[in-house]
């Protein structure tokens, strides 16, 4: 069995291929000649995803026991606040593009049948509210990938109003991934826990790659990277 911190460091290192492939596909997507309608729909999905993250993290906080680690409670509360800020920032981006207020109910209704193509859907798919290892891995992997993707959008999108806000979101997402790493290191102190984490993160990476393909531009070279690192899809 590996030392818990070394195990978490290996998970983080192995995640980098997913982050690289997702950033490649994001860059390719935004280098296309996208219509206003395509941009608005894309960013609306991201806005809805940020709200879903907010709701799910707040739920996790509300279910923490009275004797929960106070530092963990503080970190998760900061993450929930960050997600609320991200929701507002992406809303402002959409309004910047369209020149009018976002109908938030219509936005969420329009993505209701497509929410499986957003990262926050994995919180329920992987039973993160019941499995603390799954939640820690979600934060490490999904939030870490989000940091890489938001950074790529900030670099690729030429509109400074958008790129500045997305750079801010990227920094927060990377911080959120460290919250997951901290928690995971407390949980993977047995061979059984490490085996469970390895199995979960393998599935999670492939789901996040699928989400990348659905939401950006699928690239053959990105698929090669993923299959070389994680096995056949």
**Domain boundaries, given as residue ranges, for the chain:** 4-230
pLDDT confidence of residue 2? 86
Residue 118 C-beta-side C-alpha neighbours within 13 Å:
22
Q: What are phi and psi of 144, to 5 degrees?
A: -65, -45
Separation in Å, CA 73 to CA 60, 66, 78, 80: 10, 10, 9, 11
Is residue 5 pLDDT above 90, yes or no? yes
Model pTM score? 0.95
Tokens at 30, concatenated: 């935004």
Residue 213 C-beta-side C-alpha neighbours within 13 Å:
14
Distance of CA 217 to the CA centre of its chain: 17
pLDDT tens, position by position, 91-107 = 999 999 999 999 999 99
Please list, in sequence order, all residues whose beta carbon lies within 8 angstroms of the beta carbon of residue 53, skipping any fewer than 6 positions away.
83, 86, 120, 123
pLDDT tens, position by position, 169-216 = 999 999 999 999 999 999 999 999 999 999 999 999 999 999 999 999
Q: Which CATH superfamily is domain 4-230 in?
A: Heme oxygenase-like (1.20.910.10)
Compute the mean pLDDT over every residue in the chain, rounded to the nearest whole number: 96
**How much is the average pLDDT of 73-91?**
97
SS3 2: coil
Distance CA 135, CA 156 (A): 30
Tokens at 120, concatenated: 């926050």
> Confidence class of residue 115 from pLDDT cuts 50, 70 and 90?
confident
Q: Is the CB of residue 79 less than 8 Å from the CB of residue 176?
A: yes
The DSSP code sequence of 65-90 is -TT--HHHHHHHHHHHHHHHHHHHHH
Distance CA 186, CA 183 (A): 5
SS3 41: helix
């Amino acid at each position: 069995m590996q030392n818990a911190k070394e195990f978490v460091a290996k998970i983080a290192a192995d995640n980098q291929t997913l982050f690289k492939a997702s950033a490649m596909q994001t860059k390719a997507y935004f280098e296309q000649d996208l219509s206003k309608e395509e941009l608005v729909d894309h960013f609306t999905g991201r806005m809805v995803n940020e709200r879903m993250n907010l709701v799910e993290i707040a739920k996790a906080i509300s279910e923490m026991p009275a004797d929960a680690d106070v530092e963990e409670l503080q970190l998760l509360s900061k993450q929930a606040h960050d997600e609320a800020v991200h929701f507002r920032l992406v809303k402002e981006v959409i309004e910047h593009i369209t020149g009018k207020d976002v109908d938030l109910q219509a936005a969420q209704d329009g993505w209701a049948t497509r929410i499986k193509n957003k990262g926050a859907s994995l919180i329920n798919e992987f039973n993160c509210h019941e499995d603390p290892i799954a939640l820690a891995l979600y934060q490490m992997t999904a939030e870490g990938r989000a940091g890489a993707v938001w950074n790529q959008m900030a670099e690729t999108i030429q509109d400074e109003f958008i790129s500045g806000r997305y750079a801010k979101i990227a920094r927060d997402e990377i911080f959120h991934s460290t919250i997951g790493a901290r928690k995971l290191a407390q949980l993977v102190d047995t061979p059984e826990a490490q085996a469970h984490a390895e199995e979960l993160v393998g599935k999670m990476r492939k789901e996040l790659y699928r989400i990348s393909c659905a939401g950006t531009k699928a690239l053959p070279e990105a698929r090669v990277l993923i299959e070389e690192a994680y096995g056949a899809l």
